[in-house]
Amino acid sequence: MFRVIRYSAVALLAALAGLWGLAWFSHAPGQSVGEAFAQRLAQIFGQDMALPAVEGGVQLPPGITLGGAFSLTRQDGVAVTEADYAGQWLLVYFGFTYCPDVCPTELGRMSDTIDALGPAGERLTPIFITIDPERDGAAQMADYVSRFHPRMQGLTGNAQQIAEVARRYRVYYAKSRTQNMTEYLMDHSSFIYLVDPIGRVRTLFRTDTSVEIMARTIANQLRSLTSS
């Protein structure tokens, strides 16, 4: 019995080590081994992130924390860091203003979720962070976010600042250009992040999560932290 458990544990460790090795050899330029490893895991366990869904959101496994420090520029040109958002709940989405469909849809869903929360929604600040800083300057961001929610903030930065915040949230993004296209598009991962008042990601929502379920999950999270 114990031997079986021991052998299973060894086999599992060996499999994970193998996967890590594979990630090491296969990670794309600019992608960390950790990201490649997560991608390999995701390929095995599902199309999306290999994390169990709880109450419509994606629960992060113990030991994995997303979020944290950043240094960016708000749509009004003011420099901001994570300290400016301390004590606030945030709904964060990463994308780009030239996105033809996914980004506008998700930002619309973010606004709908805040409205669906009623008075509790006022405790949430919606934030859109660009992964296309080359084209998305502060003025462009200001114009764009105003179309979705009166309180939505748009954050941009230089290439390095964007790479850093994307890394902390494990956001994948890359330029894509087809041959007869002069303009480029951006490939990017698409999650809505619920960030707590100390800047940690509490829940990730996939694009297939309904507004009702997102609102309910967020309401529960707000309540659980207030009562504890």
Given the rule CB under 5 A, which residues bind Ni ion?
95, 99, 102-103
- Nearest-10 crossing angle of helices 102-116, 211-227: 50
Nearest approach in angstroms of CB 102 to Ni ion is: 4
As measured in angstroms, the least distance from the Cβ of 84 to Ni ion is: 25
Max intra-chain CA distance, the chain: 65
* Identity of the residue numbered 87: G
Q: How far is the CB of 5 from Ni ion (least distance, A)?
A: 45
Q: Please, which residue, 162 or 222, has the CB nearer to Ni ion?
A: 162
Cα-Cα-Cα-Cα torsion 69, 25, 46, 202, nearest 10 degrees, comes to: -10
Nearest residue (CB) to Ni ion, 61 versus 100: 100
Shorter beta-carbon distance to Ni ion: residue 99 or 211: 99
Q: How far apart are CA 9 and CA 27, in angstroms?
A: 26
Residue 67 tokens, joined: 């979020």
Residue 105 CB contacts under 8 Å (≥ 6 apart), including other chains: 207
Tell me which DSSP letter residue 200 carries: B
- Comparing CB distances to Ni ion, the nearer of 82 and 113 is 113
Give me the least distance between CB of 18 and Ni ion, in Å please.
34
Residues 6 or more apart whose Cβ sits within 8 Å of residue 58: 48, 49, 51, 52, 191, 203, 204, 205, 206
Nearer to Ni ion, 60 or 107 (CB): 107
Q: Least Å distance between CB 58 and Ni ion? A: 19
Point out the residue whose Cβ comes nearest to Ni ion: 99
